Chain A
Amino acid sequence: MKKLFAVLLAACMVLSLCACSASGGKSDSGAKVIKIGVFEPSSGDSASGGKKEILGMQYANSQVPEVTLGGQTYKVELVYGDNGSSTDKAPSAASSLVSAGVSVVLGSYGSGVSMAGGPKFEEAGIPAIGVTCTNPNVTAGNSYYFRICFLDNFQADVLANFAMDKFDAKTAYCLGETGNEYDQGLIAFFKQVFEAAGGKVIADSFPTGNSDFGSYLNKAKSEGADVIFTPVSIAYAVQIIKQAASMGLETPFLGSDTLDDNMVLEAITGSDLKLYVSTFYQEGGSKEFDEGIKKYINGSSEALAANGGNDTISAVTAMGYDAYFVALEAMKKADSGDKAALMKILPSVTYTGVSGAIAFDEVGDAVRDTAYIKTADTAAGTWVLETVQTGSASAAETEK
């Protein structure tokens, strides 16, 4: 028995080694290939968001699978590195992309993982384009990280103002995950704005892996919150919404871009909760894209599953779609697929995508001043556009 297993184990190892060397040499066959690394969570708490972002890239890749550089046609191949939504898995996922020889990296959904993986890309000299990682620290201190989305200080500003305008809120209860850069960053910025305007913020956080949100929500209620701000991962958002729904909470919820997800929508449907989220894109922004992506999602069972079983378009999908074309634009402009060349050209790349115009500032952040605020229609189970906030760009600037 032991011998048998020993042989089996040995065989496994030999096989896997072969597989490794095989995958290394695969790109040599056929057309020339340029690899784009997709640094996204396809497992873990943020998997739902990561998969939708990937969907946008895949759709973009299916539309434009080739790029012509220096008179030669290259096939664009997406290489996936699953960062498992966790900062401790992210560096090794980043390394796997680096070792796969990608020229540019797209992602990740979630700021913490982007920050954790960033140094690996910087070390290898590979530029990375953040798609929806909104925390300022992703690009600050890492010259190789760019991003095409707005920043958390802008988002928090928009939401805080919205809370005060719409609900006349005086007290806000903020709940985030302990140690999640994204949550904590947003809460801190929200607090700055909200308190500067004379409001009171109660900031609280729950430990990773927590599932008892009843206590927190009870506390929010008892401390007299006018609005509850929960910039958390989808997984937690779903739980918070469900538990709030079962408590019959009347306080309106504010969410950040992560909550713009059909899993959250599904959780809230049928309840009496009020939820407002800020996001990058609203369905209807680009007819052509909306139709195309819906067709793409409905066209394959896998894509449909990745989108959560329906064809509601998430903003992150649109952002993923745009990110792919920004990368392609950079390649065209540099006329090369070389990582160093791309790094050099990226700061000057501009592109107008379905989510708006994209250009980078000196830190590598997108110059963006539009956020959409959507609300959940709990009866129909759809997102409804509440308002479009064109935040004073100065607000974002002064925060820095």
Chain B
Amino acid sequence: MRKTKHTGRSLLAVAGLLLVIILLENISSWIPGLPAVFAPTSQLFTVLKKGAVYSLVAVSMNLLNGFTGLFSLGQAGFMLLGAYTYAILTVPMASKDQVYYLFGGSAVKFSLVDLFQSLFGNTGFGGYLSLICAVLVGILFAGLVAALFAALIGTPVLRLKSDYLAIATLGFAEILRAIFQWQTLGPITNGANMLKSFPTFADFNIRNGAGQVVLRLSTFVPFLAAIICIALIVLLIHSSYGRAFKAIRDDEVAAEAMGISLFKHKMLSFVISSFFSGVGGALFAMYVANAQAKAFTSTMTYEILLIVVIGGIGSISGSVIGTFLYVACSEWWLRFLDAETYIGSFKVPLLRSGFRMVVFSVVIMIIVLFFSKGIMGDKELSWAGIGGLLKKRRPKKKTPAGKEG
């Protein structure tokens, strides 16, 4: 009984959140004269979009590292697979020659966008429907390709222990990056060059006949996608399989002795995590509006790992909170540190391009050293927890340290 009540409340909260996002995105066009933060060009929405995408990736990494205890550093590689799969499948036929101009057009002679447009038409509602279908199918394939690849490399790699597994997966990501940059595959991957012109979040904004935006959905879409995927991961973690994963994390030997097949379950976790990383990669491509192997370096994996750790290894809500804090700090709140600033005629010392990242890394070091359990530890944000927090503490205090220990 209690359970259904909680599910109901969670669903309500998610629906509420999505509604708030739509409101937030559109409020500036409905009520003029609001502060600049609410304008659609505000950095707020960049943070929200990137945060949504990254939180999915962080959660998928947490599934592997936090819940199954597999120390994998292949995240960027699977994102790359996802991003490329999505991009290759959805670059419209009309743009292919331009995008693949170095290779005289693409070897992939179809595009999901055109495919669905030929079914539903390319204007008005039909156009919107075909966009949704193309993106959906593209994302699904992105996940599947990443999952397939994970299944292939899982057999040799998952037998390795801790650090060896980490370095092997990191290596695989690097190998993937090289393969995708290989000129010989150019007609498919565009060599090492950028893939672009595929549908992005901005394409989901509903426009009227004159091309004016009527309803903005470009932040709502990544949120919806991320929420669905994270919900699936949460369902998995709370299922019998999720418990088996945790058993493997806590004690492999005991898990095996209780009939849990290590290989099967590690593989399952690896493949599922990779699937969602692939989906995350596709969303990332939609967010930055391009796909290029260069972006998916080990630095990206480290970044996501840092997010997971800051949020709390083994905590989904921690990963999500961690992501938004991380993205907001790096993209928005600390940006002023990069600009040379004068107060009157006094030039504020130290402030110039690059200082933001220095401060940011110092903050990260402080968190890592002094709050090594992360924001949430391995606890989850729960209704009871929020209630307790509101009662016990003054609601003002919301720093990461609020829940230490």
Contact = CB atoms under 8 A, between A and B. Distances in A.
Given A9-B401, A19-B336, A179 B331 contact: no
B170 to A, nearest CB: 15
B93 interface: no
Nearest to B362: A12
Contacts of A3: 401
B104 to A, nearest CB: 10
B202 to A, nearest CB: 4
Interface in A181-223: 181, 184-185, 188, 205, 207-208
Interface stretch (A135-143, A241-249, A376-384): A135-143
Contacts of B287: 91
Interface in B73-98: 95, 98
A276 B294 CA distance: 29
A19 B287 CA distance: 27
Interface string A7-21: 101101100110111
Nearest to A123: B202
Given A6-B400, A6-B401, A19-B336, A87 B194 contact: yes
A95 interface: yes
A25 to B, nearest CB: 8
B194 A20 contact: no
Interface string B194-210: 10110010100000000
A123 B181 CA distance: 28
A141 B97 CA distance: 11
Contacts of A257: none
A205 B353 contact: no
Given A16-B333, A23-B336, A101-B36, A179 B196 contact: no
Contact of B191 (A19, A21, A123, A184): A184
A115 B290 contact: yes
Contacts of A137: 98-99, 101, 194, 196
Contact of B336 (A2, A20, A80, A136): A20
Nearest to A18: B336
Interface in B363-400: 363, 366-367, 370-371, 397, 399-400
A181 B102 CA distance: 10
Task: Specify the main secondary structure of chain A where it touches its partner.
Answer: helix
B265 interface: no
Contacts of A116: 194, 288-290, 292
Nearest to B296: A88
A347 interface: no
B125 interface: no
Contact of A136 (B41, B101, B404): B101
Given A2-B370, A87-B290, A179-B192, A205 B399 contact: no
A112 B196 contact: no
The residue among A17, A20, A140, A179 with the most chain B CB atoms within 10 A of its own CB is A179
Contacts of A208: 294
Interface in A76-127: 80, 82, 86-88, 91-92, 95-96, 98-99, 101, 112, 115-116, 119-120, 123-124
B354 interface: yes
Given A5-B366, A99-B41, A141-B196, A179 B292 contact: yes
B314 to A, nearest CB: 21
Contact of A16 (B98, B289, B336, B366): B336
A389 interface: no
A42 interface: yes
A251 interface: no
Given A99-B41, A115-B194, A179-B192, A141 B294 contact: no
A178 interface: yes
A43 interface: yes
B152 interface: no
The residue among A16, A99, A112, A205 with the most chain B CB atoms within 10 A of its own CB is A99
Interface residues of B, number: 60
Contacts, number: 149
A2 B401 contact: yes
B183 interface: yes
B192 A178 contact: yes
B181 A119 contact: no
The residue among A23, A92, A101, A119 with the most chain B CB atoms within 10 A of its own CB is A92
A1 interface: yes
A24 interface: yes
B41 A98 contact: yes
Contact of A92 (B35, B102, B331, B353): B331
Contacts of A179: 181, 191-193, 292-294
Contacts of B290: 87, 91, 115-116, 119
The residue among B35, B332, B353, B366 with the most chain A CB atoms within 10 A of its own CB is B353
B193 A181 contact: yes
Contacts of A123: 200, 202, 218, 289
Contacts of A24: 35-37
Contacts of A185: 102
B249 interface: no
B338 interface: yes
Interface of A: 1-3, 5-7, 9-10, 12-13, 16-17, 19-21, 23-24, 42-43, 80, 82, 86-88, 91-92, 95-96, 98-99, 101, 112, 115-116, 119-120, 123-124, 136-137, 140-141, 178-181, 184-185, 188, 205, 207-208
5 contacts: A10-B401, A24-B35, A137-B98, A184-B192, A184-B193
